[in-house]
Structure 1
Amino acid sequence: MLQKISGSSFLLLALISLIILFSNLGGIPLLDPDEPVYAQTPKEMLQSADLISPRIYGEFWYDKPPMYYWLVAGAYQLFGVNEFAARFPSALLGLITVLYIYVMGTRFFGERAGFFSALILVTSIEFFYLGKAAVTDITLTLCLTIALLSFIDKKYYLFYIFAGLATVTKGPVGVLFPGAIIVLYIALTQRWTELKSMKLPAGIFIYAAVALPWYVIMYQLHGAAFIDTFIGFHNVTRFTSPEHPEGVLWYYFIPVLLLGFFPWSAVMLQAAWSSLTSSNRGFSKLAFLNIWAWFIFLFFTVSRTKLVSYILPMYPPLAMIVGWYIATLLERRTKRGQTAWAAALLVLGLLLTGVCILGSREMPQLMWGAYAAAVVFGLIAVLGSYWLWKNEIKRVLGLQIAAMAVFSVIFVTMLLPAVEQYFSSQQFAKEFQAKYDGNSPVYVVKFLRPGLAFYADFYGTEIESNWGDAPLLAEVVEKEKKENRKAYFIIQQMQYKKLSAEHQQELQVLVKVADSMVLLKE
């Protein structure tokens, strides 16, 4: 018998999620380099009155499909061009994702498990961080979540619609991920008759009607340049070749998951194990959730390009698995597995406490925020592990949810504001505008260019292709010397240090904000 959602639980969940996802949403400048890209592109699309072809720096931009750009463009129309509007779609869709997990978790495993699953999702560090960021990951995660849960709920038309929307959000992964996960599930459970009930002919038509129009129009407008850049580089090349060589480590996503899913990472493995080994009526759904979560983890582990945000789509199924497990522990009133949970929570919590304290010593401006975060993580570690040992699971749940809600506010009101000048070009762009003569050429390293474009409405000429690279900068300095003309260089301190002493002497430091510099060659 299907259980109904609780109105009081729904309202409480919505209130907690609103606090976590919307606190100080527009109070922090956009963080380089990704947020300014996703804020500047829809800004230029509106300025050019062209909502089909994404563009940045006055040129067409084939990096991502347009879904998030469209959402931000709509938010700009409502709220103006600002940080709040750029982040609003992520926060809103993050809220919808949490509430949807509650509804579907209740439908699959009961109201308590659904409520726990949603709270676990919204209080995990990576989810609420990306839910407050102007990037595409929350949008993709919502589309994949609705698509895959619709499949397991046998609502196949809804599956095809949201697989199509995922494809308009982030490209081929929108259909490849659901397709691979479903095929793996069917193969491992031997449910081949499922393919007959999926209404494939009608489904392919629905998917194509949602996903393909933008791609067809873009190909008609831009031809091979669109296909070669979007499919060739931004999908195939990024999977087979590292965009960030320093991140090519096979274990890269292990610490990312342990930190990103904290504090629930302390119990995720035993929850996954229990969901696959315990005999229960929801086994097929739990097996599907495990295939979904761990497929995404392994896919990006194999991928040559690795970014922290890539594994976010595994968080909703993982939250449902952990929510089911904790609800099961409460129902069975057993201590089995709680010792391991307590030990892992103590170790991870104390590690994060130590990181906060050390961080405050390295960056004194973080001191009060870091100490506040250390108290939060210390309480989770010590009090949480003690209550687990005493079999007080409800207290542990309340502690972790309240503590992570508090940490989410500390993060955006104390930690980020203390160091925003190191991660945002807002102040730097203002000082550049005050110093620039308005005529001379300006060369900008790739990392700083999106923020400069958003905050100063200035594009400059890009001079860097590799992280920390200085030879290209030196070549441009030499070129300007030969032409004997005035030029500005917007770089980071790491590039400046790699210049020769001769080049450093030839360049006057006009502006220095944190690690960003404006240099002038007279």
Structure 2
Amino acid sequence: MKRNDIAGLLILGLVLYLLGNWALPMTDPVESNYVETAKEMIQAGDYLSPRIFGNYWYDKPILFYLQLIAAFQIFGMTDFAARFFPAVFAVIGLIMTYAFATKLYSRRVGLMSAVLLGTSVEYWYLGHAVITDMTLWVMVSATLMSFYAGYESGKAKYYYLAFAAAGVAVLDKGPIGLALPGLVILLFLLWQRCLPMLLNIHMLGGFVLFLGVVSLWYAPMYLLHGSDFLDTFLGVHNVLRATVSEHPRNNVWYYYLLVFLAGFLPWSLAVLPVFFKRLFKRELHLPTDERECFLVLWALAVFVAFECMASKYMTYTFPYMMPLAILMGHYFLAHETMFWRLAKGIGVIYLISVFTILPFALQKNSGQGVAAILQQQSQPDTVVVTYGIRYPVSIAYYSDLRPARLMQTEADIEEVRPHKMSWTATNIMPFAAVEDMNLQKDTLLVTDWEHAKELGTKVPGAWQEVGSSYDYVVYRLKPDVSYDGHVELPGRKNDISYGILEQYLLGTQTNKLQDS
């Protein structure tokens, strides 16, 4: 490896992944969960048990939250701080790819593989995204790189390093941090007819080290929270995720093929024609070179493993990007001039996007603008609710308010409250029922333009728009109503018919109602 290469990759990574992060707001529904959890952990002074909306939150292990907490403590609670460690790990990933490809092939292949990876759409996106996947990618890659170095050299230290990295991966995202690289290693040893290596004393010692690493967090969590932790973390967020699709629309056989095409843009457009040409001419064959065997198995095992899982997400197959980037880098060695021209062009496009397109695109999926409106309009006793929209956690993060998710009845709320071994386990936001609304209370309601039409009918009251941000609009319950009774829904027994009540709340029948 050359110092100039590493310095160049550092500069490339810092420019691609850190520059402009201060202008990229937190988005719903994923990024905001992580930052709100880290914020509440800081406020509670509890750096062990993740929590959100005052409830313990067993969605992910502790490592990524600790990264966010550290960044918030260093840089303040800013968007730049939230995106800091994903960017840092993205830069680390580039250098790791360069180092591994250089070891397997040559310096030129290493440099091209790292640049190819860093300018791929999915890697660039995850280098900015406030989610666990970039950290997981680095640790899973470190596990497999270290194993292969131990397998090739016979040096025990690499096996221990591999298991330590797997332990950190499990602290980041759970059992998949061991299961995924373990599957690749198992298949590779079977292919090479070296399965007895699993009983190597250093492999067994490495597993003991792995248990020591993961017990740093899992043991105290179990002692503190017992079966609630196991049932939700292992049951819902691991077993249920593998067996019951959380988003059935994604559960199609070609989903990850589309992810590959989009994730490896623009490079997938260059290599796919060559692949199909060789396939048509029957020039494809199983790899015989040990290096290619490992890389191909790595990529295929990741792809097939997640293809078999019920829940499908864009980022699940992300760990196959290193081996594929190295294989593509080796291919582009014969087309080096074209490669560097394309890399420079896509790099310029990314830089322009960070300062022009991306901030506005992310705002559409963020409650940052609405949070500013709510802070301006709310008083200490103001009730804040959301209606008809996916619950925007980013509003809570940016405003320090906790809007309640408004539903029609208490029975409706009970249906979506957290239940064991159900996807409702993720619904731990505050709730409120229309039938329990106090129409004398100062109330702000956040909805979208479509559901705003239901205000005054499905949601009684006279509502006045006080602000909007992209698809969100904020309404205030008008203070000129003085109904002191319980709001009843259509079809429920009531002394005043709902139709008259609705007109009264809209301020059109006040005198008539008082006379009656």
**What band does the TM-score fall into relative to the shorter chain?**
0.7 to 0.9
Single out whichever of 456-465 and 113-122 deviates more from structure 2.
456-465
- Correspondence for 2:159: 156
Are 2:24 and 1:28 equivalent residues in the alignment? Answer: yes
* TM-superposition CA deviations, 1:167-199 (whole Å, max 9, x none): 000001011111111112222332224324472
Q: Secondary structure at the match of 1:30?
A: coil
Coordinate RMSD, CA, aligned = 2.8
Is 1:476 the counterpart of 2:452? The answer is no
Aligned residue runs from structure 1 range 281-320, under 5 A: 283-320=289-326
Worse overlay, 297-306 or 99-108: 297-306
Percent of residue pairs bearing the same amino acid type: 31
Query: C-alpha distance in 2, partners of 1:495/1:189?
Result: 60
Residues 444, 298 of structure 1: CA spacing in aligned structure 2 closer, same or farther, 3 A cutoff? farther
User: Partner residue of 2:376?
Assistant: 434
For residues 235 and 38 of structure 1, the distance between their equivalents in structure 2, rounded to whole angstroms, comes to 18
Distance 1:500 1:288, change over 3 A: farther
Per-residue Cα deviation, 1:342-392 (whole angstroms, up to 9, x for no partner) = xxxxxxxxxxxxxxxxxxxxxxxxxxxxxxxxxxxxxxxxxxxxxxxxxxx
Local SS of the residue matching 2:434? helix
Give the direction of change, closer, same or farther, for the CA distance of 1:232–1:143 in structure 2 (3 Å limit).
same
C-alpha contact 2:455 2:463 (8 A) present in aligned 1? no
Query: Offset at 1:289?
Result: 1.6
Q: Equivalences for 1:5-404 in 2 at 5 Å?
A: 5-154=1-150, 155-197=158-200, 199-268=202-271, 277=285, 283-327=289-333, 330=334, 393-404=335-346
Distance 1:440 1:306, change over 3 A: same
1:69 CA drift (Å): 0.8
Structure 1 CA distance, aligned partners of 2:198 and 2:61?
29
Contact 1:449–1:462 (8 Å) recurs in 2: no
CA distance in 2, matches of 1:65, 1:108: 33
The equivalent of 2:364 in structure 1 is: 422
Residue aligned with 2:72, SS: helix
1-side partners of 2:249 and 2:295: how far apart?
A: 31
State the alpha-carbon separation in 2 of the partners of residues 240 and 279 from structure 1.
33
Change (3 A) 1:497 1:174: farther
TM-score normalized by structure 2? 0.80
Distance 2:443 2:368 in 1: 22
Distance 2:473 2:83 in 1: 27
Cα distance, 1:225 vs structure 2: 0.9
Distance 1:478 1:162, change over 3 A: same
Offset at 1:312? Answer: 1.4
Q: Cα deviation per residue 1:132-180 (whole Å; 9 max; x = unaligned)?
A: 1211110000000000111111121111000000000000101111111
Say if 1:271 and 1:325, in contact at 8 Å, map to a contact too: no
Mapped contact 2:406–2:432 kept (Cα < 8 A): no
Q: For 2:432 and 2:60, locate their aligned partners in 1 and report how far apart those are by CA, in whole Å.
A: 31
1:443 and 2:446 are equivalent in the alignment: no
Most deviating of 260-269 and 437-446? 437-446
Moved more, 57-66 or 436-445: 436-445
TM-score when scaled to structure 1?
A: 0.79
Q: Number of paired residues?
A: 447
Residues 59 and 474 of structure 1, relative CA distance in 2, 3 Å threshold? closer
Q: Secondary structure at the match of 1:199?
A: helix
Deviates more, 1:455-464 or 1:287-296: 455-464
Following the alignment from structure 1 to structure 2, what is the Cα–Cα distance between the partners of residues 133 and 284? 35
Q: What is the alpha-carbon distance in structure 2 between the residues aligned to residue 173 and residue 463 of structure 1?
A: 36
Q: Answer with 1 or 2: which has the greater Rg.
A: 2
Query: CA separation in 2, counterparts of 1:421 and 1:75?
Result: 22
**Rounded Cα–Cα distance in structure 2 between residues aligned with 1:10 and 1:502:** 61
Bigger proportion of residues as helix: 1
Are residues 12 and 443 of structure 1, via their aligned partners in 2, closer, same or farther at CA, if it must alter by over 3 Å?
same
Deviation at 1:484, TM superposition (A): 6.0
Checking the alignment, whether the CA contact within 8 Å between 1:251 and 1:301 is kept in structure 2 is no
Deviation, 1:121, is 0.8
Report if the CA contact (8 A) 1:40-1:454 is conserved: yes
Report how far residue 45 of structure 1 moved.
1.3
Distance across 1 between alignment mates of 2:28 and 2:10: 30
Contact 1:152/1:285 (<8 A) preserved:
no
